[in-house]
Chain A
Amino acid sequence: MVKKYLDKIRPNFEEGGKLSAFRSVFDGMETFLLVPNATSRVGVSIHDAIDSKRIMSFVVIALLPALLFGMYNIGYQNAAAAGMLEQTSFIEMFFYGLLVMLPRIIVSYGVGLGIEFVVAQWKKEEIQEGYLVSGLLIPMICPVSTPLWMMALAVAFAVIFAKEIYGGTGMNIFNPALIARAFLFFAYPTSMSGDACWVATESFCGLGHNVVDGFTAATPLGIAAAGQAVNFAETSTFVGLIPGSVGETSVIAIAIGAALLLVTKIASWRTMGSVFVGGAVVAWLFNIAGMETNVVANIPWYEHLATGGFCFGAVFMATDPVTSARTEKGQFIYGFLIGVVAITVRVLNPGYPEGMMLAILLMNMFAPLIDYVFVQRNINMRLNRVKK
Chain B
Amino acid sequence: MSQLFSKENKEIFSSPLNLNNPVTVQVLGICSALAVTVQLEPAIVMGLSVTVITAFANVIISLLRKTVPNRIRIIVQLVVVATLVTLVSQVLKAYAYDVSVQLSVYVGLIITNCILMGRLEAFAMQNGPWASFLDGVGSGLGYAWILVAVGFVRELFGAGTLLGIQVIPDVCYEWGYANNGMMTMPAMALIIVGCIIWATRAINDKK
Residues of A at under 8 Å CB distance from B?
147, 149-150, 161, 183, 186-191
Contacts and interface: CB of A to CB of B under 8 A. Distances in A.
Interface residues of B, number: 10
Contact of B182 (A147, A186, A190): A186
B206 to A, nearest CB: 15
21 contacts: A147-B176, A147-B178, A149-B176, A149-B177, A150-B178, A161-B191, A183-B182, A186-B181, A186-B182, A186-B185, A186-B187, A187-B180, A187-B181, A187-B182, A187-B183, A188-B178, A188-B180, A188-B181, A189-B181, A190-B178, A191-B178
Interface centre among B182, B183, B185, by most A CB within 10 Å?
A: B182
Interface in B150-207: 176-178, 180-183, 185, 187, 191
Nearest to A147: B176
A178 to B, nearest CB: 15
Q: Which 10 A-B pairs have the closest CB atoms?
A: A187-B182, A187-B180, A186-B182, A187-B181, A147-B176, A188-B178, A189-B181, A186-B181, A183-B182, A186-B185
Interface in B25-78: none
A161 B182 CA distance: 14
Contacts of A189: 181
Contacts of B191: 161
Contacts of B187: 186
Contacts of A161: 191
A99 to B, nearest CB: 19
Given A147-B178, A188-B181, 19 more contacts: A147-B176, A149-B176, A149-B177, A150-B178, A161-B191, A183-B182, A186-B181, A186-B182, A186-B185, A186-B187, A187-B180, A187-B181, A187-B182, A187-B183, A188-B178, A188-B180, A189-B181, A190-B178, A191-B178
A102 B120 CA distance: 61
A84 B187 CA distance: 45
A191 B176 CA distance: 11
B201 to A, nearest CB: 13
Nearest to B178: A188
